[in-house]
Chain A
Amino acid sequence: MTERRPADLGVDVGSLRLKNPIMLASGTVGYGEEIGELVDLSELGGIVVKGLSLEPVTGNRPQRIAETPGGMLNSIGLQNVGVEAFVRDKLPNLRRYDTRVIANIWGKTVQDYAAVAARLDQAEGVHALELNVSCPNIKEGGISFGTDPKQLHEVTAAARAATSKPLWVKLAPGVTDIGLIARAAEEGGADALSAINTIRGMMVNVESRAPMLSTVFGGYSGPGLLPIALYLLFEIRKATPLPLIGIGGINELEHVLQFMIVGACAVQIGTANFYDPTFSSRVVDELAQWCRNHEIDSLAELVGSLRLPRQG
């Protein structure tokens, strides 16, 4: 009796090969230090580190989270150590792992993004950059980069010019036409798109009648995001041929498969890292088993294999 060889879970996000499609999402695993005590990061396709800015950021005052039906709100305020401290203090530890390290970056101006991207272009052990475009552009009246095609194009092009590393753009969901936004990122020079970031939400304490978050509203994440993220990924798939990375509500193998069938070549696990911190490594094993059971030799067979119902 011959044993089937282990399924090859390798996937290509453009020019970047991942050993499997399971990554950890930015903002849910810091810089890999703490989660590395629970999960062998070398078993994963990649880790996307907490969003980095040019200077360290203190973040918002508490209260920063609120539990909600089907998820949670956060308003951390982009607290991070800054790009220099990341390269000096955090990156050496990440280089120990046989995995892909993706640096999520953000700024308040186009120039900020370009400067952080340029700094990381020189950093050994950073395999790709992911732009967080959900932050306000302070020079353009505080409108989020990710909601305006022109600004998104500009910030993507500026980062593109500053690095030769693969450039991913993480799209924000609160827009009228996500396809338009996706094309702006593509035309700006993105190599891949990740979707989605959190959705704005709020919760109220009925006793104090105050918002539960100090900043009134925050980013909604967790299981409730799944159908919204799948649908937006479907719309993005129609708009652009770029490689896509699915994010939103994943806490079962089934969810990973759904994202891939809709068109994602890889996924990121986010909020599940908080309430089920070893899920990411378990789901890699489950995915391998699923591929063996379904006689799938390459995950490329699965990506974008959605069968649409006949219309009319």
Chain B
Amino acid sequence: MFEKRLTLDAVRFLNSRCFVLAFHAPEIARAARPGQFLMLAASDGIEPLLRRPMAVYQILESSGEPVGFSVLVERTGKGTTLMSKMQAGDEVAVLGPLGSSFAPPGDATAEAVLVMGGVGAAPFPLFARALLEAGHTTRAFIGGRTSEHLLCAEDFAALGVPVTQATDDGSAGHHGLVTAALTEYLSGCDGPVAIYSCGPTPMMRAVDSIASARGLPHQVSLEAPMACGIGVCLSCVVPAVDEAGGWRYRRICREGPVFDASTLLWEHPDD
């Protein structure tokens, strides 16, 4: 991991709420793996105090060499609102890359099915590229509340990855939940499939029910409020099974953000 003050290269708005921040940072670009994240300061001062965790969205290349990265941000609160006002040339404190990454399917012949909701799409175009390079057939299911909340469809299209979209209000793609479209697709699959998901917790949990009902491997990328991003504040914990058959907390920032979903406990064991 690297702790750097980076100069913001470019800001690109995807819609009224979502934007991409691009940085020149060859060391981070070389080190970053799909699914990892960075901690970005939203301001130079102490309001807001804590850095924001952001998934690596793109690795930017020049002459085939990794030279930078970008993050995809949705404006949802105080920190991301400040970030939406950043301009090229601004200096931003960045720590990363951090955490675990997506692993390609163990079965070399497996199709990779990526299921995402809203800004949870951010890590998947980079992972899709790695999957295609490794020879995996790859498919994307993108869900959102409205058409404005569907992200990354163009990235998958550019990679030649088929996309199925679903919106809660029917403003684009299937009218309904992305998990309904997923179920329908899986019903027609007879080859090996590996599932990957990132998005709202109810979506990931529903995807996990679908995957486990069919005995499919499922990796999930989690998010939680966190102060440090490196595993010392112990705030971003999630209950997970341990080797002894009990459970213990795992840190989303360190053992995650990508977990084998079969190790997670969606219901807290004390409930």
Q: Across the interface, which residues of A come within 8 angstroms of B95, CB to CB?
A: 38, 277
Binding stretch for chain A, among B28-36, B154-162, B222-230:
B222-230
User: Is there an interface contact between B234 and A59, defined as CB atoms closer than 8 Å?
Assistant: yes
Q: Across the interface, which residues of B come within 8 angstroms of A223, CB to CB?
A: 46, 49
- Assuming the contacts A38-B1, A59-B234, asked whether A275 and B225 have C-beta atoms less than 8 A apart, the reply is no
> Whole-angstrom distance from the CB of B154 to the nearest CB of chain A?
33
User: Is there an interface contact between B225 and A66, defined as CB atoms closer than 8 Å?
Assistant: yes
Residue of A35, A72, A278 most packed against chain B (CB within 10 A):
A72
The distance in angstroms between the C-alpha atoms of A278 and B231, with both chains bound, is 15
The distance in angstroms between the C-alpha atoms of A69 and B49, with both chains bound, is 8
Known pairs A35-B230, A58-B248, A275-B51; list 17 more (Cβ under 8 Å).
A30-B234, A34-B231, A37-B1, A37-B230, A61-B239, A61-B268, A64-B235, A67-B225, A70-B47, A70-B49, A72-B227, A79-B234, A223-B49, A251-B46, A273-B232, A274-B228, A274-B233
B48 is an interface residue with CB less than 8 A from chain A: yes
Smallest Cβ-Cβ distance to A65: which chain B residue: B235
Interface of B with A (CB < 8 Å)?
1, 3, 41, 46-51, 93, 95, 224-228, 230-239, 248-249, 254, 268, 270
**Residue from the list A62, A76, A79 in contact with B224, Cβ < 8 A:** A62
- Assuming the contacts A58-B249, A65-B225, A79-B249, asked whether A30 and B50 have C-beta atoms less than 8 A apart, the reply is no
In the A-B complex, list the 6 residue pairs whose CB atoms are closest, starting with the nearest. Answer: A65-B235, A274-B227, A274-B228, A30-B232, A64-B235, A34-B230
User: Is there an interface contact between A64 and B232, defined as CB atoms closer than 8 Å?
Assistant: no
The distance in angstroms between the C-alpha atoms of A76 and B51, with both chains bound, is 19
A298 is an interface residue with CB less than 8 A from chain B: no
> Whole-angstrom distance from the CB of A282 to the nearest CB of chain B?
11
Interface of chain A residues 262 through 312 with chain B (CB within 8 A) = 271, 273-278
The distance in angstroms between the C-alpha atoms of A70 and B48, with both chains bound, is 8
User: Is there an interface contact between A67 and B50, defined as CB atoms closer than 8 Å?
Assistant: yes
User: Is there an interface contact between B233 and A65, defined as CB atoms closer than 8 Å?
Assistant: yes
Smallest Cβ-Cβ distance to A28: which chain B residue: B232
> Whole-angstrom distance from the CB of A63 to the nearest CB of chain B?
6
Interface of chain A residues 11 through 28 with chain B (CB within 8 A) = 28
**Residue from the list B49, B224, B231 in contact with A222, Cβ < 8 A:** B49
User: Is there an interface contact between A30 and B231, defined as CB atoms closer than 8 Å?
Assistant: yes
Smallest Cβ-Cβ distance to A62: which chain B residue: B237
> Whole-angstrom distance from the CB of A131 to the nearest CB of chain B?
21
User: Is there an interface contact between A59 and B1, defined as CB atoms closer than 8 Å?
Assistant: no
User: Is there an interface contact between B237 and A277, defined as CB atoms closer than 8 Å?
Assistant: no
The distance in angstroms between the C-alpha atoms of A230 and B249, with both chains bound, is 36
Smallest Cβ-Cβ distance to A39: which chain B residue: B3
Q: Across the interface, which residues of A come within 8 angstroms of B254, CB to CB?
A: 34
> Whole-angstrom distance from the CB of B245 to the nearest CB of chain A?
15
- Assuming the contacts A70-B49, A223-B46, asked whether A38 and B248 have C-beta atoms less than 8 A apart, the reply is no
Interface residues on chain A, size class: 20 to 34
Q: Across the interface, which residues of B come within 8 angstroms of A61, CB to CB?
A: 239, 268, 270
> Whole-angstrom distance from the CB of B103 to the nearest CB of chain A?
22
Q: Across the interface, which residues of B come within 8 angstroms of A211, CB to CB?
A: none
Q: Across the interface, which residues of B come within 8 angstroms of A67, CB to CB?
A: 48-50, 225
Smallest Cβ-Cβ distance to B268: which chain A residue: A61
Smallest Cβ-Cβ distance to A38: which chain B residue: B3
User: Is there an interface contact between A35 and B232, defined as CB atoms closer than 8 Å?
Assistant: yes
The distance in angstroms between the C-alpha atoms of A28 and B1, with both chains bound, is 18
A29 is an interface residue with CB less than 8 A from chain B: yes
Q: Across the interface, which residues of B come within 8 angstroms of A66, CB to CB?
A: 225
Q: Across the interface, which residues of A come within 8 angstroms of B226, CB to CB?
A: 65
Q: Mark A70-90, 1 if CB is under 8 A from B, else 0.
A: 111010100100000000000
- Assuming the contacts A67-B48, A69-B47, A72-B49, asked whether A277 and B235 have C-beta atoms less than 8 A apart, the reply is no
Smallest Cβ-Cβ distance to B1: which chain A residue: A37
**Can you list 26 pairs linking A and B with CB atoms under 8 Å apart?**
A28-B233, A29-B232, A30-B231, A30-B234, A38-B95, A38-B230, A59-B249, A62-B236, A62-B237, A64-B235, A65-B225, A65-B226, A66-B225, A67-B48, A70-B46, A70-B47, A70-B49, A72-B50, A74-B233, A76-B235, A79-B237, A251-B46, A276-B93, A277-B3, A277-B228, A278-B3
User: Is there an interface contact between B232 and A275, defined as CB atoms closer than 8 Å?
Assistant: no
- Assuming the contacts A70-B46, A223-B49, asked whether A275 and B227 have C-beta atoms less than 8 A apart, the reply is yes
Smallest Cβ-Cβ distance to B228: which chain A residue: A274
Q: Across the interface, which residues of A come within 8 angstroms of B230, CB to CB?
A: 34-35, 37-38, 277
User: Is there an interface contact between A65 and B227, defined as CB atoms closer than 8 Å?
Assistant: yes
Q: Across the interface, which residues of B come within 8 angstroms of A29, CB to CB?
A: 232
- Assuming the contacts A66-B225, A275-B41, asked whether A74 and B268 have C-beta atoms less than 8 A apart, the reply is no
